[in-house]
Structure 1
Amino acid sequence: MEKEILYEGPDISYHNGNVDIKRVRDAGCGRVGIRAGYGKNNVDQKYVVNALACYNLGVAVLLYWFSYACNVAMAVGEAGYAIAQAAKYWKRCPIAFDFEYDSVNYARKNGVAVTKALATDMAIAFLQRVEEAGYVPVIYTNRDYLRNYFDMDRIAAALGTVYVWYARYTSALPEGEKAIADVWQYSSTGRLAGVTGNVDMNRFYTDFSGNTVPAEREDRCNLNIKSFQAAANADGYRDADGKPLAEDGIDGPKTQYVRRQIALQAKKSGGRYVAGSTGAVVGWWQTRCNEILGHSQAVDKRYGPTSRTETMAVQRKLSLKVDGIAGYNSIQAAFYN
């Protein structure tokens, strides 16, 4: 019987820069894969931004942890790190063990030859820890790894149920391979609204919706957001109801409304850039640029040529559109970096 494609979606990480999750959702994607981190508790630099956006927009996720484990104990530790990140936003969701060629090369450089038995033991250890914590165990693999690294019969026997995220970049999967795939990563060069450049794309044959439960969480005060709110209030910005922003450090709908009104920029005069935007928000932005870049431009609340140059440097560093204008997306990125 032909397997039905239920929906598609990308998987993203720091390497994809700033992803507009709303545009991804509105493009019809049913689930987004997010790298929670890698190795020994290295949280992906974009995890918080990506996960929070998915949580707030009601977008389902498939989290994964890129493994650099060299033994079973390290794999168990990585599972714990993945669970800790997942628990910030979801009581239950799929979590994948992602062990690839870079993982094997890392082990080799550290004196460990990864055999099929060892790779299988580490996969079982990671996935059992995930399952014990109430999350859904998924193994990321490909044809070579099924042959040479993962004993799927042993993994299935140990877990009972394990879902397979299968990578093969081809126009169609052979029936034998399609039969084992719950998720098929079919391209690493996909194009998608909300993502700049190439992105991994996946087709989902299994619906994890019954296994995805958001956590009840209280938003924490983000001091970058709180100082932005104070600056916006000082400059006279108001929310849609004409009221000052609550200085609570939460990027809620009212703060987002104000962000949409802001486009800090220099102006051209006589063929050169001179000060354009002024005020407390400019001072806030200059401060954040200094903190992100480790620079020391003057915080004079005047957006001139130096601020424009520094803004473009920040935009390059954070994989934003490089236009020298500090608007909605640039300000949002400055909240979390």
Structure 2
Amino acid sequence: MLAGALGSAVALILTGTGTAAAAPPAPDEPVRSGQAWMGAGTRIEQGPASSAAGEITPMDTSGVQGIDVSHWQGAINWGSVKAAGIDFAYMKATEGTSFKDSSFNANYTGSYNAGLIRGAYHFARPNVSNGATQAGYFASNGGGWSRDGKTLPGVLDIEHNPYGAMCYGLSTTQMRTWINDFYNTYKARTTRDVVIYTTASWWNTCTGNWTGMATKSPLWIAHWGTSNPSIPSGFPTWTIWQYTATGRVGGVSGDVDRNKFNGSFTRLQALANNSA
């Protein structure tokens, strides 16, 4: 979808409930436990993004476009999202070992019914349990997978800790073990390789430039305000790129993360179906 076409679809349309988006904490305010979202830690690294009302950040809005959401976006009109040229969406399902996003069920079902290819993500909390425990919780609470052509593999959202120490108090060796345990447990539960969402800065710092996941997990890289995202050590390329946190899309009230898939729509379907 070309940027001009997307630019014509920036009307803020709510669903019939009239529920508006809640305002996430300001950059200098703490995030309450369980309330993190994809990019909450990224903004600590890359700075708070901002945009004028109604504008789309002028990044790469060509190709296969997607968004990621959580309860912070409020009620979403998924039919309008689809009409705005969005082909895929990820939504927060879980965090840590006990939090489930309050909007997950509505978003997961609504996006599917509107014809989007969708998936779920887990916000990692490596300081509260081991990776296997959190992978099991995720798989049991929205992170499952089925070969229906509409369900993408789950995402491990592992980024700068918005609650405290950047690397959650783990050494690079401990972090590698945590991620590997999450990966192995998720694959055992779903048969799929978990997608990893991260930033180059966080990954290189907190895993010690680890290359151990490069041939196993598709990479979802977060790098805002650039035309050429930096990727972590060892990964050959990115599969999804989160290029802004201040995009606008018809059907969503306020800013929403915008993403691009690295390939054609047919390749996106192949990722959903786990086919070559």
Aligned to 2:260: 203
Q: 3-state DSSP class of the match of 1:30?
A: strand
Partner Cα separation in structure 1 for residue 223 and residue 86 of structure 2: 20
Partner Cα separation in structure 1 for residue 81 and residue 225 of structure 2: 23
CA deviations 1:28-83 (Å, max 9, x no partner) are 11110111111113110100000011232332113210011227x53211111221
8 Å contact 1:136–1:211 — kept in the other structure?
A: no
Aligned to 2:126: 69
In the TM superposition, 1:227-242 aligns within 5 A as: none
Q: What displacement does 1:205 show?
A: 0.3
Considering only CA atoms, is the larger Rg found in Structure 1 or Structure 2?
A: 1
Cα separation, partners in 2 of 1:41 and 1:146, compared to 1, 3 Å: same
1:101 is aligned with what amino acid? H
8 Å contact 2:231–2:238 — kept in the other structure?
A: no
Partner Cα separation in structure 1 for residue 230 and residue 95 of structure 2: 32
> Equivalent pairs: percent with the same residue?
22
Q: What displacement does 1:195 show?
A: 0.7
Partner Cα separation in structure 2 for residue 84 and residue 19 of structure 1: 24
Aligned to 1:101: 160
In the TM superposition, 1:1-337 aligns within 5 A as: 6-70=63-127, 74-86=130-142, 90=146, 93-102=152-161, 105=164, 113-132=169-188, 133-150=190-207, 151-156=209-214, 160-173=215-228, 180-206=237-263, 207-212=267-272
8 Å contact 1:68–1:106 — kept in the other structure?
A: no
TM-score by length of 1: 0.54
Q: 3-state DSSP class of the match of 1:119?
A: helix
Cα separation, partners in 2 of 1:89 and 1:99, compared to 1, 3 Å: closer
Q: What displacement does 1:10 show?
A: 0.8
Q: What displacement does 1:90 show?
A: 3.9
Which ranges of structure 2 fall in alignment gaps of 5 or more residues?
Answer: 1-61
Q: What displacement does 1:127 show?
A: 1.6
Root-mean-square deviation (Å): 2.9
Q: What displacement does 1:193 show?
A: 0.5
1:154 is aligned with what amino acid? G
2:217 is aligned with what amino acid? V
CA deviations 1:77-116 (Å, max 9, x no partner) are 11112212336774563211112222672798xxx62222
2:183 is aligned with what amino acid? L
Which structure's residues are more often helix, by fraction? 1
**More relative contact order in 1 or in 2 (CA 8 Å, sep 6+)?**
2
Matched residue count: 204
Q: 3-state DSSP class of the match of 2:212?
A: helix
Which ranges of structure 1 fall in alignment gaps of 5 or more residues?
Answer: 214-337
8 Å contact 2:145–2:154 — kept in the other structure?
A: no
1:83 is aligned with what amino acid? A
CA deviations 1:158-179 (Å, max 9, x no partner) are xx42100100102301587795
Partner Cα separation in structure 1 for residue 197 and residue 145 of structure 2: 22
Partner Cα separation in structure 1 for residue 154 and residue 239 of structure 2: 13
8 Å contact 2:221–2:229 — kept in the other structure?
A: no
CA deviations 1:210-242 (Å, max 9, x no partner) are 2425xxxxxxxxxxxxxxxxxxxxxxxxxxxxx
TM-score by length of 2: 0.65
